[in-house]
Amino acid sequence: MDQVKFTAMKDGDKEDYDFLTKHEVAYTKGTAKRLLDAMVSLDEGLSGYQVTRLGHSLQSATRAERDGADTDWIVGALLHDIGDIYAPYNHDEYAATILRPFVREQVTWVVEKHGDFQLVYYGEHVGADPLKRDAYKGHPYFDDCAAFCERWDQSSFDPDYDTLPLPHFAGRVEEVFARKPYDPDVIRPGVRCPLFPMIRDTFNPGL
């Protein structure tokens, strides 16, 4: 059997759907590679900054790793802007959707909201509300998102920073996307893990 028999889904039988399930599961095994290939595309996207979008993403992940962050945070930092090419008006939601089945809820929430939090740095210059993040005050992950933006996102546009290359992070990406999707032992709703254990005693994530 090389293809299903039906031309309308309602006409499919168990044989058809067993066949599709097998192929779809096999296809998911290549998710990490497809994402890493997509990251390369960020080098060709709109920039205007002193680093490319790929450079920014790699620098964010490099800073996360050097701060002692765990794998979920590092992969979240690496992929947080992957939607810039494909979903420029909601790139944060796009990235969070990719990550949601495979990383801690804390990381997904931060990636999803980081666009609103970043406005504190430039909103006044573009006619946007720099305090848009205040709508999330009281949320358990508020300080985490503020810290993510301050320490890893807004600071990662430096062409002189010693940024690690994409292959350095490939193993972590493969590890994350090889996980069982929506595994409760991975998602861990409400759990907070420190972004930067190495400097946790000196950094104020609330700004």
Q: Give the residue carrying structure tokens 């972004």.
A: 195
Q: In the chain, how many domains are there?
A: 1
pLDDT score recorded for residue 200: 54
pTM given for the model:
0.92
CA–CA separation, 50 and 158 (whole Å): 7
162 pLDDT above the threshold of 50: yes
pLDDT score recorded for residue 1: 85
201 pLDDT above the threshold of 70: no
Q: Report DSSP state, residue 101.
A: T
pLDDT score recorded for residue 167: 97
User: Structure tokens of 22?
Assistant: 């097998």
Amino acid at 116: D
- Give every CB contact of residue 66 below 8 A, 6+ residues apart in sequence: 198
Other C-beta atoms closer than 10 Å to the C-beta of 175 total 13
In a domain, 84, yes or no: yes
In a domain, 7, yes or no: no
Domain containing residue 104: CATH number: 1.10.3210.10
Give per-residue pLDDT as tens, 83-125. Answer: 998 898 999 999 999 999 999 999 999 999 999 999 999 999 9
In a domain, 205, yes or no: no
Give per-residue pLDDT as tens, 48-79. Answer: 899 999 999 999 999 999 999 999 999 999 99
State which residues form the domain around 137.
Answer: 12-199
CA–CA separation, 69 and 31 (whole Å): 23
- Which helix (H) or strand (E) segment holds residue 107: the answer is helix 105-122
Percent of the chain, pLDDT > 90? 86
Q: Give the DSSP letter string of 146-174.
A: HHIIIIIITT---TTS-PPPHHHHHHHHH
In a domain, 34, yes or no: yes
Q: Identify the CA nearest to 112 among candidates 104, 121, 120.
A: 104
In a domain, 6, yes or no: no
CA–CA separation, 147 and 207 (whole Å): 8
In a domain, 101, yes or no: yes
CB-based contact 67:99 (threshold 8 Å): no
